[in-house]
Structures are given as structure tokens and as C-alpha cells.
Amino acid sequence: MPSDPAKSASERNLLLVVAALVVAAGVVAVLTAWICGYVLDSLHNSNSMALLITDAGVKSDDAALERQLSVATSALVACRDLAFALGVGCLGVGVAGVGRVMRS
């Protein structure tokens, strides 16, 4: 019995989407680990305790430390955004998988 070409193409497309999501998840995991490491290194700096926290941000007498903590804050925001995007992607693939199972 010959296989249905439309079904075969659909399964191939689903496999490609899952593979792409796995690659994206791996990249996000590596980026998240790197970002968290950078933030932890920034917070372990012995000078980081001599800071003023204001409404305008963190102020310090050391410009390099102030810049480093500002970048660390931006890194945490990027980490949150990457995790949210990955979650949305996983939800989409999950819905597609459930839809595929229901149609079968």
C-alpha cells in the first residue's frame, strides 16, 4: 500500500519544527547559562556593596562597576525574554503535536 504523500510531507514538516525547537532550546540554554554566570560574577565583585540604588538606577563611584551592573541588569531582562520566547515556541509545538494526535 503506497504511503500518502501529503501525510508524509506533514510528518516531515512536524519533525523539522520539533528539530528547530530543540536547537533553539539548546541555544537558549547556553545563552541563559552564560548570562547567569555573568550576572553572578558581577554580583560577587567586592566593590558591588558600595553602591547607591536610586530611582534612576544604580550609582557608584566606580564607572566600570556601574556599567557592569547595568549590563548585568540588561542581561537578566534578555534572559527573561529568551525564556518567554522559548516557552511560547514550546507551547506552539505542543499544540501542533496534540492537534496531530487528534487528527490521527
User: Is 45 inside a domain boundary?
Assistant: yes
Going from the C-alpha of 6 to that of each of 3, 12, 38, 93, 101, the distances in angstroms are 9, 10, 48, 19, 16
Mean pLDDT of the chain: 76
The domain in which residue 95 lies consists of 24-103
pLDDT beyond 60 at 1: no
pTM of the model: 0.56
Q: What is the pLDDT of residue 98?
A: 77
* Mean predicted confidence (pLDDT) in 77-97: 81
Question: For residue 46, is it within any domain?
Answer: yes
Alpha-carbon 31 to chain mean position: 7
Domain count, the chain: 1
Question: How far apart are alpha carbons 90 and 101 in whole angstroms?
Answer: 16
pLDDT band at 104 (very low <50, low <70, confident <90, very high): low
Average of pLDDT values for 18-25?
82
- The pLDDT tens digits for 32-68 are 888 877 777 776 766 655 666 666 666 666 777 777 7
